[in-house]
Amino acid sequence: MSEKLYSISVEVNGVARSAHVPARLSLVDWLRDDLRLTGTHVGCEHGICGACSIMLDGEPVRSCLMYAVQADGHRVTTVEGLANPDGSMSVLQDSFCKCHAMQCGYCTPGMLIAAKGLLEANRHPSDTEIRAAIGGNLCRCTGYQQIVDAIHDAARRMASGAK
Amino acid sequence: MKSAPFEYLRADSIASACEALRREGDSAKIIAGGQSLVPIMAMRLVRPSLLVDINEIAALKFIAVERDAVRIGACTRQALVERDDALASRVPLLRQALAWVGHVQTRNRGTLGGSIVHADPCAELPLAAQVLGAKMVLRSSSGARTLAAEEFFTGPMVTATDSSECLEEVHWPVWSEPRTGCAFTEIANRHGDFAMVSAACQLALDGEGRCVRAAFGLGGVGQTPLAFPRLAARLLGTKLDEAVVKSVAQDAAAQTEPGSDLFATADYRRHLAGVLAARVIRAAQEKAGGGK
Amino acid sequence: MAEEKSPSGFRYIGTKRRTKEDPRFVTGRGHYAADIALPGMKHIALVASPHPSARIVSINTKPALAVPGVLYVLTGEEFQGGTDALYVGVDAPKVTRYALARGIVRYAGEWVAAVVADTRAIAEDAAELVEVEYESLPYVIDPEAALAPDAHLVHKAHGSNVLYHRKFVWGPVEEAFAKADHKLAFRATWGRSSTVPIETFGVAAQWDAGTGLLDIWASIQMPKFPDQAARALKLPGNAVRVHFDVDVGGSYGLKRGIKHTVLVGFLAKRLGVPVRLIEDRLENMRGGDMHGPDRFFDMQVAFDRDGTIRALKIRAVDDVGAYAGRSPLQLGKPVGAICGPYQIRAIEYEPTSVMTNKTPQEAVRGFGQAPTNFALERAMDRVARYLKMDRIELRRKNLIRKDQFPYLIPSGTSYDSGDYHAVLDKALAAIDYPALERERDEARKAGRLAGIGISTCLEPSGGNTSFEILFNPKNETTTWMDSCLVRVDLSGSITGLMNTSSSGQGHETLVSTVIGEVLERDPAAIRVIHADSLSALPSNSPVGSRMAIMLGGAAAGAARKIKDTLVAIAAHNFECSPQDLEYRDGNVNVKGVPSKVLTWDQLVEIAHRKYHQMPPGIEPGLQAKFVWEVPTGPTVPTPDGRVQMYPCYSFETHIVYVEIDPDTGKPSLKRYVCGHDCGVMINPDIVHGMTYGGIAHGIGASLYEKFAYTEDGQLASGTFMDYLIPSAMEVPDIHIVDHCTPSPLTTFGQKGSGEAGYLGAPAAIANAVNDALDPLGVSIDTLPMSHLALWERISSAAKKSA
């Protein structure tokens, strides 16, 4: 008994991707294992840690809490899609490096997605707003301090027009 | 933690979703935001044979502000409900409750209706529905029926919805009193965690600060979210002085039947119920422009 | 961004510089175990015991094997027949441990069978179909119950639940207790928590029958990992190649995964296909064998009315769960800092390592030091409270003074250097302590529960393994070296080779900074690669806050050899003595004659191509290795158990302000300052980051995190919904104040810092909470101090007063 496959078309980081997937395949497993976009990470598979955060139609969501088949017809952005069109690091990515907002790097893609979602909605976030925005992303290395610093730094640079 | 196999149907209309539910019976399950369902499917605690996806049904996503009520489509994302200013001015308790629901990422995907049908007795939206007396419109192939919150929530993770029904929309009453205030609070271990106890209140005051309308309730301390209409009635006509609020809150706490778990004993929950009930009543009063 | 000048006069060391690792992580190009995809790779799911203790009556694998896509189901019977038991850290040879149980299961979650299938989902489908018949057996969950004479034996063949017990007496303890003005006793309990990295453990393996080589990619941070894997697999060491270039998604000491690796290696060889096991979170929490210390301390303190601490008696009982591994040794490392930063001249220490039917314990950040520091710091605060003495004054009085270093403590370890009073003063100034006291007192007047907590703690660093020989005389390990190889290629580019994997510590940055410093070349252009175990020099991996010291020292040693070679080449060509030359930015010129110079490129070319210009006796090519021993070495203990533990001692003082809602018990950390001295920092951003992270981890251990067990032996907090890792909403803004007392023992004066923050945070937070509870006349000495536990203390006080 082989599982029924469903055909899907998803725009991933600006590229149309088509596949036939079993219904139970999670979106994060499809991105990682089938598309080999391994930048998005799996931490808990039950919606708490935020390591698998991606943008779905421009909003951060947890990709372990969606089935790939549900993404059919939608637009997904992963960490691999955060760079500038010329391939250089975005301000946000650069600020994370500048402030050393990571250690092991495992939660980092999810943090970047959460931060991007915040900065797109709020150009001048306060400390509290930043902490709330990344409150659903667990990090075990940094104590969050340098992540908060990096998001402030990116907000400042973006406000002065940096890309 | 991979879900057990299932088949998938992307419903394009409420009718087609209802038809699938009728056909499959108990073994089908609706997925809305999936923020509670997918984890328990990943843990294989729930194994539907068919998952009926209602996320693409445009007719289930709306916020309609009317004179006496706001109607919200069941599959409206929590983030949209939270952001809607027109809604926030008519049913402000929703925005307040949503601030406690999960995290940005889960509210972006999670739906209003999904949380209500999931009926976790600790969850925020079911408590808000219970306190305000929201009405749930349930649709099946054989028609629609409307249930008030008090009939709708029947137990922990159990509602009066039958397996052929799909929640279509939720009607939230709008209070017309000019001096209305509301508050929501809870105690959880971490921000965004399931509440050990939650509390919600909405009040209206007259020009002299007397309470003319009141509703409050508690979550996490019973089989369902609890509302206390009789106790709320004791607030009416008072200026919500300390003694009244305290006694109402204590009586509410005494009426709860909380359970114990890893994080909270029944005693602790009952105690929190009294504390939080008093706090939300007081906070709602302040929002309504009363008190000091 | 402008680079700041190093405060220590170095060119690169100590300056704010970007790390080498971060760019790959922010672009999604990290390379973790779960990213390994080998052609034809199969996936493993595990069948776990639902019982805390049971006999396996039978296992029927047929229904699972019938699932399409299932390749194999391995049981303990076959597995234990084909492999050797895993290493045990103490002398307990009958406490045998394998990845798959045979005959008896000893904890709920213990692996019983492994299913190999085309996908992980199919493997899980089939795992559900493996039929295991169990016969339930008695079990013991509570460590004190496990010590009782009639207790159920977790390992019958061992004859006792005690893995290790000894009473050490260092100095005139009884005399001090007899003569002291006062004594007090209390119990401090450290809850079962762990580092719980966001990445679970993962390992992939591939057997090449043609070469007879087993390749392993794993998420590891473990000394002697390749050797232990090979030994358990009954393979020669050179038949196992562990790839250290796998990024590890967090570890903090924990990522050992040896049982997983032996299982996967066995299956890869047995089946002839690449096999991968990525624990899911449920497997990880229950059966991943990654819980941390679960320990209580019966503390006795003898002290005088002026606050002088004369002696301590410490009985420590640690529940390691159902199997041993290295976990009993986590009672051993604290021997090297058993009196903390204080002048306490007599100490009795009685560690007991006991087994129960719970998930086994693994190494956690600080290797047992954080719980010990917590108990010591609670003792200091209790003494201050008893004497009605200011806690800071009490500490100042007992702290070892700057002029007393090197300072020999009663248990035989010499502390290298420090200025504890200065760090404490800096931290007090940074938080404006008088203002903080006023803030607390105002809050109290307003009816809130408010408290200030202080801790002054040590971080032993430069990890060696003296505790192994101390706790097991049969284990005569007295070297714990680390190494580096530096190569300069024909193009003049520099490559450093390190010999272990990294889990966020920034070793590539460390090595390139140190090489750049010595060779005066830009670290940004220096590449650092991770060897595999067959091409590696000896390493004991990044444990015990050792890499700044050990890998840093090794990299410096290798770079100095390169520098010496370059100078020797120049001396030969200028026909002068090396003393007549000066080395600048990689070029060598005759002193005082800048024009008489051989440039870096010229020197490199000579070394690689012009043998006729090479001095005699120097190898052509340009590479150097350096193997460095821990500065003080691991030493052989005296008969009474005195030993030099780690060489270097970093110091941290934490000051935290907490308020607790008196009506709900909910705590919130309002202000946090940490004064920190780890000698010369190689990269301040990395050091600060680890310290912030350690504090957050300490907040978790003190207020939130616990692997709780039900009375019937089931793990009650096996998901991230109930094992509560603090988020950015629970961790406050943290302010770190640096101080630098160089170590006299290390290359640049550096000390270790990988465990910083965690070693003092729980102690400070516990002291703050107790300060807040003090006006109520109640206290709490059990971690984690959950909302519930705090409310119960508060309400017991209310009942008392009513």
Q: Which residues of B touch C (CB under 8 A)?
A: 1-5, 43-44, 187, 189-194, 196, 262-265, 268, 271-272, 275-276
Which residues, in sequence order, are CB contacts of C85 under 8 Å at separation 6+?
A: C96, C97, C98, C232
C420-431 and C391-398 helices cross at what angle (nearest 10)?
A: 160
Nearest residue in chain A measured CA to CA from C196 = A140
Task: Give the model confidence (pLDDT) of C571-592 as tens digits.
Answer: 999 999 999 999 999 999 999 9
In chain A, the number of structural domains is 2
Task: Give the model confidence (pLDDT) of C402-414 as tens digits.
Answer: 999 999 999 999 9
Instruction: Report the pLDDT value the prediction gives residue C484, as an integer from 0 to 100.
Output: 98
| Residue A163 confidence class, pLDDT cut points 50, 70, 90 | confident
Neighbours of chain C (3+ CB pairs under 8 A): A, B
| Alpha carbon of A163: minimum distance to chain B alpha carbons (Å) | 24
Strand-pair category, C104-105 with C648-660: unpaired
Q: Is residue A104 part of a domain?
A: yes
| The pLDDT of residue C334 is above 80 | yes
3-state helix/strand/coil string of C767-793: HHHHHHHHHHCCCCCECCCCHHHHHHH
Listed in order, strand segments (DSSP E) in C365-480 are 407-408, 414-415, 449-461
Mean pLDDT across B83-87: 97
Fold of C481-628: Aldehyde Oxidoreductase; domain 4 (3.30.365)
| Alpha carbon of B6: minimum distance to chain A alpha carbons (Å) | 6
Is the CB of A126 inside 8 Å of chain C's CB atoms?
Answer: no
In this structure, the answer to whether residues A73 and A104 fall within a common structural domain is no
Q: Which residues of A touch B (CB under 8 A)?
A: 3-4, 6, 22-24, 26, 29, 45-47, 50, 53, 56, 59-62, 64-67, 69-70, 72-73, 114, 117-118, 132-133, 135-136
For residue C131, give the amino acid letter.
E
Listed residues B126, B153, B173: the one ending a domain: B173
CATH number at residue A117: 1.10.150.120
Of A3, A56, A114, the CB nearest to B104: A114
In this structure, the answer to whether residues A32 and A69 fall within a common structural domain is yes
Q: Identify the residue whose tokens are 């279509």.
A: B168
| Alpha carbon of C35: minimum distance to chain A alpha carbons (Å) | 6
Within 10 Å of residue C478's Cβ, how many Cβ atoms?
16
In this structure, the answer to whether residues A69 and A14 fall within a common structural domain is yes
Mean pLDDT across B252-277: 97
Of C281, C665, C708, the CB nearest to B262: C708
Is the CB of B53 inside 8 Å of chain A's CB atoms?
Answer: yes
At the top level of CATH, the class of C40-137+201-278 is alpha beta
| The pLDDT of residue B290 is above 90 | no
Q: Enumerate the H helices of B29-72 as residue ranges.
A: 37-42
Question: What residue numbers bound the domain in which A25 lies?
Answer: 5-81
| Alpha carbon of C92: minimum distance to chain A alpha carbons (Å) | 34
| The pLDDT of residue C1 is above 60 | no
Q: Are C53 and C713 in contact (CB under 8 A)?
A: yes
Of A22, A59, A135, the CB nearest to B108: A59
Mean pLDDT across C673-678: 98
Mean pLDDT across C531-548: 95
In chain C, % of residues over pLDDT 70: 99
| The pLDDT of residue C467 is above 80 | yes
| Alpha carbon of B286: minimum distance to chain C alpha carbons (Å) | 20
Contacts of C197 in chain A (CB under 8 A): 104, 106, 140
| The pLDDT of residue A1 is above 60 | no
| Domain C40-137+201-278 matches domain C481-628 at the CATH topology level | no
Contacts of A67 in chain B (CB under 8 A): 3, 8, 34, 38, 51
| The pLDDT of residue C377 is above 90 | yes
In this structure, the answer to whether residues B128 and B146 fall within a common structural domain is yes
Within 10 Å of residue C428's Cβ, how many Cβ atoms?
19
| Alpha carbon of B46: minimum distance to chain C alpha carbons (Å) | 14
Instruction: Report the pLDDT value the prediction gives residue C2, as an integer from 0 to 100.
Output: 37
CATH of domain C295-466+636-801: 3.30.365.10
In this structure, the answer to whether residues B42 and B69 fall within a common structural domain is no
Mean pLDDT across B140-159: 97
Neighbours of chain B (3+ CB pairs under 8 A): A, C
Side-chain half-sphere exposure of C132, counting CA atoms within 13 A: 31
Burial C668-699 (b: 16+ CB within 10 A, else e): ebbbbbbbbbbbbbbbbbbbbbbbbbbbbbbb
Q: Is residue B1 part of a domain?
A: no
Instruction: Report the pLDDT value the prediction gives residue C677, as an integer from 0 to 100.
Output: 98
Backbone angles phi, psi at C468, to 5 degrees: -65, -50
Is the CB of A37 inside 8 Å of chain C's CB atoms?
Answer: yes
Mean pLDDT across C1-12: 63
The burial class, CB within 10 Å (0-12 / 13-18 / 19+), for C420 is buried
Mean pLDDT across C675-697: 98
Nearest residue in chain C measured CA to CA from B4 = C125
In this structure, the answer to whether residues A14 and A37 fall within a common structural domain is yes
Listed residues A46, A81, A116: the one ending a domain: A81
Q: Are C367 and C699 in contact (CB under 8 A)?
A: no
| Alpha carbon of B43: minimum distance to chain C alpha carbons (Å) | 8
Of C280, C663, C721, the CB nearest to B275: C663
Give the integer Cα–Cα distance in Å for C231 and C630: 26
Of C124, C704, C788, the CB nearest to B264: C788
Q: Is residue A86 part of a domain?
A: no
Listed residues A49, A81, A113: the one ending a domain: A81
Q: Is residue B292 part of a domain?
A: no
In this structure, the answer to whether residues A154 and A107 fall within a common structural domain is yes
- Tell me if B190 and C729 make a contact (CB, 8 A cut-off): yes
Q: Is residue B256 part of a domain?
A: yes
In chain B, the number of structural domains is 3
Mean pLDDT across B175-191: 96
In this structure, the answer to whether residues A109 and A63 fall within a common structural domain is no
Contacts of A61 in chain B (CB under 8 A): 105-106, 108-109
C204 DSSP assignment: E
Task: Give the model confidence (pLDDT) of C284-326 as tens digits.
Answer: 999 999 999 999 999 999 999 999 999 999 999 999 999 998 9
Nearest residue in chain B measured CA to CA from C125 = B4
Maximum CA pair distance of chain C? 96
- Tell me if A104 and C199 make a contact (CB, 8 A cut-off): yes
In this structure, the answer to whether residues A41 and A100 fall within a common structural domain is no
DSSP 3-state helix, strand, coil percentages of chain C (rounded to 5)?
A: 30, 25, 45
Contacts of B246 in chain C (CB under 8 A): none
Phi-psi region of C250 (alpha: psi -120 to 50; beta: other; left: phi over 0): left
Question: What residue numbers bound the domain in which B158 lies?
Answer: 58-173
Within 10 Å of residue C42's Cβ, how many Cβ atoms?
25
Q: C349, C394, C618, C623: which is closest to C486 by C-alpha? A: C623
Task: Give the model confidence (pLDDT) of C768-802 as tens digits.
Answer: 999 999 999 999 999 999 999 999 999 999 888 77
C420-431 and C433-445 helices cross at what angle (nearest 10)?
A: 50
- Tell me if B187 and C795 make a contact (CB, 8 A cut-off): no
Q: Are C441 and C431 in contact (CB under 8 A)?
A: no
In this structure, the answer to whether residues A106 and A135 fall within a common structural domain is yes
Task: Give the model confidence (pLDDT) of C484-494 as tens digits.
Answer: 999 999 999 99
Strand-pair category, A59-62 with A53-56: antiparallel
Q: Which residues of C touch B (CB under 8 A)?
A: 119-121, 124-125, 128, 280-282, 663-666, 704, 708, 716-717, 719, 721-722, 724, 726-727, 729-730, 786-788, 791-792, 795
**Paired strand residues for C72:** C116
Instruction: Report the pLDDT value the prediction gives residue C7, as an integer from 0 to 100.
Output: 56
Our measurement of the distance from residue C306's CA atom to the centroid of its chain's CA atoms, rounded to an integer in Å, reads 37
Instruction: Report the pLDDT value the prediction gives residue C723, as an integer from 0 to 100.
Output: 98
Backbone angles phi, psi at C272, to 5 degrees: 70, 20
Mean pLDDT across C727-755: 97
Instruction: Report the pLDDT value the prediction gives residue C801, as an integer from 0 to 100.
Output: 79
- Tell me if A62 and B106 make a contact (CB, 8 A cut-off): yes
| Inter-CA distances, C579 with C571, C576, C582, Å | 9, 8, 8
Based on its alpha-carbon atoms, the radius of gyration of chain B, rounded to whole angstroms, reads: 19
Listed residues A30, A56, A81: the one ending a domain: A81
- Tell me if B35 and A4 make a contact (CB, 8 A cut-off): no
Instruction: Report the pLDDT value the prediction gives residue B292, as an integer from 0 to 100.
Output: 53
Task: Give the model confidence (pLDDT) of A6-31 as tens digits.
Answer: 999 999 999 999 999 999 999 999 99
CATH number at residue B150: 3.30.465.10
* CA dihedral of residues B148, B151, B157, B163 (deg, nearest 10): -90
**What is the number of helices (H) and of strands (E) in chain B?**
12, 14
Domain boundaries, chain C: 40-137+201-278, 295-466+636-801, 481-628
| The pLDDT of residue C5 is above 60 | no
Contacts of B221 in chain C (CB under 8 A): none
Choice between C771 and C2, residue whose per-residue pLDDT is larger? C771
In chain B, % of residues over pLDDT 70: 99
Of C199, C505, C693, the CB nearest to A43: C199
Q: Are C751 and C743 in contact (CB under 8 A)?
A: yes
Which residues, in sequence order, are CB contacts of C477 under 8 Å at separation 6+?
A: C465, C468, C469, C634
In this structure, the answer to whether residues B266 and B164 fall within a common structural domain is no
In this structure, the answer to whether residues A56 and A74 fall within a common structural domain is yes
Q: C324, C365, C322: which is closest to C89 by C-alpha? A: C324
Is the CB of B38 inside 8 Å of chain A's CB atoms?
Answer: yes
| Alpha carbon of B206: minimum distance to chain A alpha carbons (Å) | 36
- Please give the structure tokens belonging to residue B152: 């709708």
Mean pLDDT across B10-31: 95
Give the integer Cα–Cα distance in Å for A63 and A66: 5
| A2, A5, A44, A62: best to mutate for the B interface, most B CBs within 10 A | A62
3-class secondary-structure state, position C307? coil
Q: B88, A75, A135, B9: which is closest to C729 by C-alpha? A: A135
CATH number at residue B18: 3.30.43.10
Q: C130, C30, C119: which is closest to C75 by C-alpha? A: C130
| Residue C346 confidence class, pLDDT cut points 50, 70, 90 | very high
Please tell me whether the peptide bond between C406 and the residue prior to it is cis, using omega within 30 degrees of 0: yes
C197 DSSP assignment: -
Based on its alpha-carbon atoms, the radius of gyration of chain C, rounded to whole angstroms, reads: 28
Instruction: Report the pLDDT value the prediction gives residue C210, as an integer from 0 to 100.
Output: 97
| Inter-CA distances, B206 with B180, B238, B284, C401, Å | 9, 10, 14, 69
Give the integer Cα–Cα distance in Å for A146 and B85: 34
ipTM above 0.95, yes or no: yes
Instruction: Report the pLDDT value the prediction gives residue C8, as an integer from 0 to 100.
Output: 66
